[in-house]
Amino acid sequence: MPGSISILSSGINLGWTSPYLPELLSANSSIPTTNDEGSWCAVAPLLGAPPGAILAAILVDKIGRKKTTLLMAPWVSLCFIGIAFSTTIWEITGLRFLIGSVEGALYTVLPMYIGEISDPKIRDFLTSTIAIAAITGTLFINVIGSFLDIFMSSLICCLIPLIHMMAFALVPESPYYYIKKGNFEAAKQSLQVLRGKRDVEEEVDSIVKAVVRQERTSNQAGVLDLFTVASNRRACLIFVIVCMTNKFSGKNPCMFYTEMIFKEAGSSIDATTSVIVYCGMELIAVVLTTLLVIKRFGKRMLLITSSAGCSVAVLALSLFFFFKDFGFDIHYVFWLPITALVSYNIMFSIGLSFGMVTILSELFPTSVKAKALCIADTFSVLMGALVSKIFQISVDQAGSMAYPFLFFSMCSLAGCLLIVRWMPETKGKTLEEIQYVLIGQESGVELSVRRVQFLNNSF
């Protein structure tokens, strides 16, 4: 739980543009900003994530998961202080880029750390706290951004990484890291603290065996194996489908430009209030989905339902802007923008929000998983930045939000059909069984060879 506090800063940084970008773009702004500059400011955290993820991938095995996470906190705090005293939009953009790099590092380290320290019975809940913390951060910045200026809110936000650093300093290092370094006694002591009991010998032995096996197989595979091995290619294809559906459903534009969307819609509901309701409903949806829905339904069905629902929700938003632009009376449907966006958030939360993470953790074998994570994170954030730029450019060129939202609706529908065709159901299957599903798509001699390789790597 203390580790997830750091993700609050990620949510704050991603949601920061919603309350403050309209202020920066206004005619009387103290920091003059053009639409193009504002769009670069919005996507800066996404562009900063890949170098941070690469750095974290190096540090986690050099200095440990705990120290890598703690190292990030001071930088985030200093960046928020820098934003408070910024005088140009490019200073703010650069600092948001640096915070984005820290986000990339944290999203690499924390899932790994939580997965290694948690008991299987509570692992799903602990992992979900990352998403919950991110949404809470976005809600927090929208609430305080409604009545505080950039200076004051930034000074408040700089305290959150410091709170995280003090709390996280009290938790033990991952026993997996200690075992990788050959420090078995430290691993045992760490596990005793985590489990709250003295007798952990059996679990230590199982971790030792797992680390030895994973270290052996990780040295046998390279990046090219992601594309030359048929089962890995299918896993990559499935990831690309889900990732593209996630990004091109319009999540980032909806998050970055929430308040602008409500203002453009001309809704009689206060834009700031609408944003807070929007973020609050997303938080509730993610919490309920995490605790209740995932366990009852398979991930494949949830992804299909989620992508189809997102398509309908953004189509409704597109139709609203078409009616508004063509002069139709929209007085009686003033509620449609917030209803469509809240519906979109709920549908996104039940599947697409966790789909990419699930695929990365389930579909790729241990031998290429680390390499797959690095490439996937880079691809994901670049697609997110691309979609945000497409939204900004299309709105500027067409003068309407109807067209980009129609495009997002079509992309979500296309993604839904591709998920139906290619996404396997993984509910109730072990990682080994999932690999058999992927290997089973191959034919002839290659299938026999891959089965032998799989058994050798697994046992």
- Asked if 100 contacts 47 with a C-beta cutoff of 8 angstroms, the reply is yes
For residue 210, name the pLDDT band (cuts at 50, 70, 90). Answer: low
Q: Do 151 and 262 lie in a common domain?
A: no
For residue 25, name the pLDDT band (cuts at 50, 70, 90). Answer: confident
pLDDT of residue 459: 44
Mean pLDDT on 253-272: 64
Token duo for residue 374: 């690095």
Q: Do 152 and 254 lie in a common domain?
A: no
In angstroms, how far is CA 24 from the centroid of its own chain? 26
Q: Do 16 and 155 lie in a common domain?
A: yes
pLDDT of residue 271: 61
Mean pLDDT on 90-108: 89
For residue 82, name the pLDDT band (cuts at 50, 70, 90). Answer: very high
Domain end residue (candidates: 137, 171, 205):
171
Assign residue 434 a region (left: φ > 0; alpha: ψ between -120 and 50; beta: otherwise): alpha
- For residue 77, being part of any structural domain is answered with yes
DSSP letter at 134?
A: H
- For residue 328, being part of any structural domain is answered with yes
pLDDT of residue 448: 45
Q: What is the C-alpha to C-alpha distance for residues 164 and 113, in angstroms, rounded to an integer?
A: 15
Token duo for residue 370: 């680390």
Mean pLDDT on 122-146: 80
Q: Whole domain around residue 229: which residue ranges?
A: 225-428
- Asked if 43 contacts 385 with a C-beta cutoff of 8 angstroms, the reply is yes
- CA 53, 164, 73: angle at the middle one, nearest 5? 45
- For residue 180, being part of any structural domain is answered with no
Q: What is the C-alpha to C-alpha distance for residues 368 and 363, in angstroms, rounded to an integer?
A: 10
- Asked if 101 contacts 48 with a C-beta cutoff of 8 angstroms, the reply is yes
The CATH number covering residue 237 comes to 1.20.1250.20
Q: Do 98 and 234 lie in a common domain?
A: no
Whether 116 has a pLDDT exceeding 50, the answer reads yes
How many structural domains compose the chain? Answer: 2
Q: What is the C-alpha to C-alpha distance for residues 109 and 91, in angstroms, rounded to an integer?
A: 27
Domain end residue (candidates: 171, 192, 207):
171
Whether 446 has a pLDDT exceeding 50, the answer reads no
Q: Do 277 and 130 lie in a common domain?
A: no
DSSP letter at 425?
A: P
Q: Do 58 and 151 lie in a common domain?
A: yes
- For residue 191, being part of any structural domain is answered with no
- Asked if 368 contacts 219 with a C-beta cutoff of 8 angstroms, the reply is no
In angstroms, how far is CA 181 from the centroid of its own chain? 30
Q: Do 128 and 238 lie in a common domain?
A: no
For residue 414, name the pLDDT band (cuts at 50, 70, 90). Answer: very high
Q: Do 249 and 120 lie in a common domain?
A: no
Q: Do 165 and 248 lie in a common domain?
A: no
SS3 433: helix
In the chain, what are the helix, strand and coil shares in percent, each to the nearest 5? 80, 0, 20
- For residue 132, being part of any structural domain is answered with yes
Q: Do 153 and 238 lie in a common domain?
A: no
In angstroms, how far is CA 390 from the centroid of its own chain? 20
Whether 12 has a pLDDT exceeding 60, the answer reads yes
Number of Cα atoms under 13 Å in the Cβ half of residue 298 = 11
For residue 444, name the pLDDT band (cuts at 50, 70, 90). Answer: very low
Q: What is the C-alpha to C-alpha distance for residues 365 and 230, in angstroms, rounded to an integer?
A: 13
In angstroms, how far is CA 402 from the centroid of its own chain? 26
Whether 442 has a pLDDT exceeding 50, the answer reads no
Q: Average model confidence (pLDDT) for the chain?
A: 79
- Asked if 177 contacts 117 with a C-beta cutoff of 8 angstroms, the reply is no
Whether 132 has a pLDDT exceeding 90, the answer reads no
- CA 139, 122, 73: angle at the middle one, nearest 5? 45
Q: Do 409 and 261 lie in a common domain?
A: yes
Question: DSSP labels for 439-457?
Answer: HTTS-HHHHHHHHHHHHHH
Q: Terminus-to-terminus CA distance in the chain, angstroms?
A: 34
Q: What is the C-alpha to C-alpha distance for residues 448 and 434, in angstroms, rounded to an integer?
A: 17
Q: What is the C-alpha to C-alpha distance for residues 155 and 72, in angstroms, rounded to an integer?
A: 18
- Asked if 4 contacts 133 with a C-beta cutoff of 8 angstroms, the reply is yes
- For residue 458, being part of any structural domain is answered with no
Domain end residue (candidates: 148, 171, 194):
171
- For residue 388, being part of any structural domain is answered with yes
- Asked if 9 contacts 76 with a C-beta cutoff of 8 angstroms, the reply is yes
Mean pLDDT on 323-351: 78
Least confident range from 111-120, 185-194, 449-458: namely 449-458
Mean pLDDT on 92-109: 88
Dihedral sign computed on CA atoms, order 240, 242, 248, 253? negative
Q: Do 319 and 385 lie in a common domain?
A: yes
- For residue 375, being part of any structural domain is answered with yes
pLDDT of residue 413: 94
Q: What is the C-alpha to C-alpha distance for residues 360 and 352, in angstroms, rounded to an integer?
A: 13
Whether 208 has a pLDDT exceeding 80, the answer reads no
Reported as a single tens digit per residue, the pLDDT across 340-399 is: 888 888 888 877 877 676 676 667 665 566 667 777 777 887 888 788 778 878 887 877
Mean pLDDT on 283-301: 75
